[in-house]
Structure formats: structure tokens, C-alpha cells
Amino acid sequence: MLPWDAEMAGQLHRETIGSTLLRGNPLGDPHERPIWVYTPPEYSARPGTRWPAVYVIQGYTGHLSMWANRSAYKQPFPETADAVFASGEAPGCIVVYVDAWTAYGGSQFVDSPGTGPYHSYLVDEVVPWVDARYRTLAQPASRAISGKSSGGFGAMITPMLRPDVFGALATHAGDALYEYAYVPEFAKAVRYLRAYDGDIFRWWEDFRSRPAFSAEGDGTLLILLGCAACFSADPDGTVRLPFDPVTGELVPERWQRWLDWDPVRMVDRYADALRSQRAIWIDAGTRDEWYLDVGATAFRAGLTRIGVPDDRVHFELFNSGHAGIDYRYPQALTWLAHRLER
């Protein structure tokens, strides 16, 4: 393997999708979005064959182009994904790389008056668009979604909301159990916001005016602003934090809106949808900085509680923090590829 580039056995089609739903979204983000569709090695050689599809989404502050980023001694996921098909380790799949970036760094793949209808965009626009242009097996049993971190969150909730669209999922260190993943961040945010009189929009203005992430609190504040836009915006789009930015006290009704989006707490409400999934991959590093290993454990326990059979679930904690776990993606992809109906 040379570090600079690689030839793939399959083909990566870099396209643009024009969304109707995202038109006029509240943050002024483009409604024309990049999308990459990967077709496996034998795709053109077997013109009569239809293929399962795995949708891949990014984590917070991730956007589509970052899938092409290269680093030392590692290949980007599109190449490691290609490799599992090229080697025969996994039966061929179409892999769809979806962009749901917003000006705040992400959409959490939900519909929100604070950011836009990114959930609907994904299930009602992207999926049909792909099915119309590529030879997919257009049914939930042959359609999976996977991601890491906020992408893992999206991979958990999307099939819960729309089991008629997705029938399998993989979550790597997906956001869950918000008291551990988010609450400590609120306390940090209170500290960082002391320099901004407790006004996160004064921070946002500052952030946009200087090199990004050059101040210590930038990462924390950005994700909180973004999640508040996704989870607790007013109907008119006004973003509301789930805590008092000066005293740190939780604002119960807003915090409850966040908790309503906690995958662990959603399990019982969406039990049927989860029981309809063919394959659920859950993993996380045992030293995850957001305790997402604990969240993964609770989500796994929830599946047992509602009666998801053990043979449909892969659960694994491994020795790692939150970063540097991209080598897990092709493992989950392989596992899914074997379980999707074809």
C-alpha cells in the first residue's frame, strides 16, 4: 500500500443531489448536496443484478469530502470498504456516502426547525434518488445504515423512525445515554461561556471571526450549539440551550427534548422497529471520552429487554478512546453485507 492514493476495484461515483426539502433551510445551507455512490467490483459485469445498499453517514463536524482524507499507514474508508468486496471477504454492496452537514457542523440526522429536515432528506429524498439511479434491492431487508459518533446516533435512530426504509444498522461509539455523553459538556460550556457573558451566540460570532478551534472551548461549544439547534429549537427556529448558561442548571422541558432523542430511552418507544431489524452492530472503545461505551452497553441491554434475538446483534467493547477507530468500519460493513437480503 502506498500512502498517496489507491486504485479501487469498484467504482466511486461522485454526484450531486438537488434537494427540495432542504431548500430554504434555516441556516442557509445549500440544498444541492454532494453524494458519493460506490458500486462494487462486479456491478458493471453483472448488469442484471441488484444489490443491497449500505448508507454511511458522518460524525459531528464531518462532511462528505472528509471520507477522502488520507493519513499515515491507513486508507480512507472508501478504500477499505472496497477492499472487503474486492477480496471476497464480503459479498458486494452498494455503499452510499450521504452528506448532512450544516453551518453548525451537523444535523444529527433529525428534522428540526433549527437546522432543517435532514432526516426526511435522507429517507425521503436520498434513498429514492439512489434507488432510481442504481441497481439496489429497494427494500428495508436489503438496506442498512452505519456511522460513528453522531453518525452512529443517526444509524440508531433512523431505522427506529423508519423501519420501512432501513432493516439493519451499525453504530460505532454512537451518541447515547446523554447524562454521560452531554451533561459534563454543559458544565464545561458554562465555564467557557463566562468570557461571553453566558451568550453562546457571542461565542459563535467570535468563533466565525478567527481561526476555527483556536480557543479551548470551541469544540465543546460548537457541538452544544449544533445539538441544541437539532434537539431543542423553538418552532420558529430559535435555538435554546437545555441549561442555564450562567448557573448550569438544567432547563427541564428543554433537557427532556434532548432525552427524547436518547437512543437508550427510545428503545421501548420504538421496540417494534428495532425488532424488525435483521442485523444490529454496536461497538465502542472502553475509554471513550464521552462514555459512549456505557451508552452502547445500555443500548445493547435495551435490545435484550425488548426481545431482539441475540443472533441479530453484534456487541463489542474494545480497548480504545473515541478517536482512531475507523478500522472498525470495514468490519461492521462485512458483517452487514453478509446479513442483508439479496
Residues at the interface with a copy of itself (CB under 8 A): 2-5, 30, 34, 61-66, 68-74, 99, 101, 105, 177, 179-180, 183-184, 186-187, 190-191, 211-214, 244, 246-250, 264, 286, 291, 293-295, 297-298, 301, 320, 324, 327
Determine the Cα–Cα distance for residues 289 and 214; give it in Å rounded to an integer.
21
- Of the two residues 166 and 255, which places its CB atom closer to a copy of itself in the complex? 255
Closest approach of a copy of itself to the CB of residue 298, in Å:
4
- Of the two residues 168 and 230, which places its CB atom closer to a copy of itself in the complex? 230
Assigned C-alpha cell, 90: 464480503
Closest approach of a copy of itself to the CB of residue 4, in Å:
5
Determine the Cα–Cα distance for residues 39 and 247; give it in Å rounded to an integer.
52
Phi-psi region of 20 (alpha: psi -120 to 50; beta: other; left: phi over 0): alpha
φ, ψ at 165 (rounded to 5°):
-110, -45
Closest approach of a copy of itself to the CB of residue 295, in Å:
8
- Of the two residues 41 and 76, which places its CB atom closer to a copy of itself in the complex? 76
Assigned C-alpha cell, 76: 480512507
Residue among 73, 64, 84 at smallest CA distance from 9 = 84
Closest approach of a copy of itself to the CB of residue 316, in Å:
14
Closest approach of a copy of itself to the CB of residue 251, in Å:
12
Count the neighbouring beta carbons within 10 Å of the beta carbon of residue 210: 10
The answer to whether 108 and 231 are in contact (CB under 8 A) is yes
Determine the Cα–Cα distance for residues 159 and 174; give it in Å rounded to an integer.
14
Strands 94-98 and 32-39, bridge-based pairing:
antiparallel
The type of residue at 212 is A
φ, ψ at 37 (rounded to 5°):
-120, 120
- Of the two residues 228 and 340, which places its CB atom closer to a copy of itself in the complex? 228
- Of the two residues 83 and 264, which places its CB atom closer to a copy of itself in the complex? 264
Closest approach of a copy of itself to the CB of residue 294, in Å:
4
Q: How distant, in Å, are the alpha carbons of 5, 6, 65, 70, 212 from that of 2?
A: 7, 7, 21, 11, 31
- Of the two residues 234 and 268, which places its CB atom closer to a copy of itself in the complex? 268
Strands 111-112 and 143-148, bridge-based pairing:
unpaired
Tally of CA atoms within 13 A in the half-sphere of 104 that contains its CB: 28
Closest approach of a copy of itself to the CB of residue 44, in Å:
27
Closest approach of a copy of itself to the CB of residue 35, in Å:
11
Residue among 132, 129, 127 at smallest CA distance from 145 = 127
- Of the two residues 166 and 270, which places its CB atom closer to a copy of itself in the complex? 270
- Of the two residues 40 and 59, which places its CB atom closer to a copy of itself in the complex? 59
- Of the two residues 38 and 166, which places its CB atom closer to a copy of itself in the complex? 38
Closest approach of a copy of itself to the CB of residue 297, in Å:
5
The type of residue at 117 is P
Give CA angle at 57 (56, 62), nearest 5°.
135
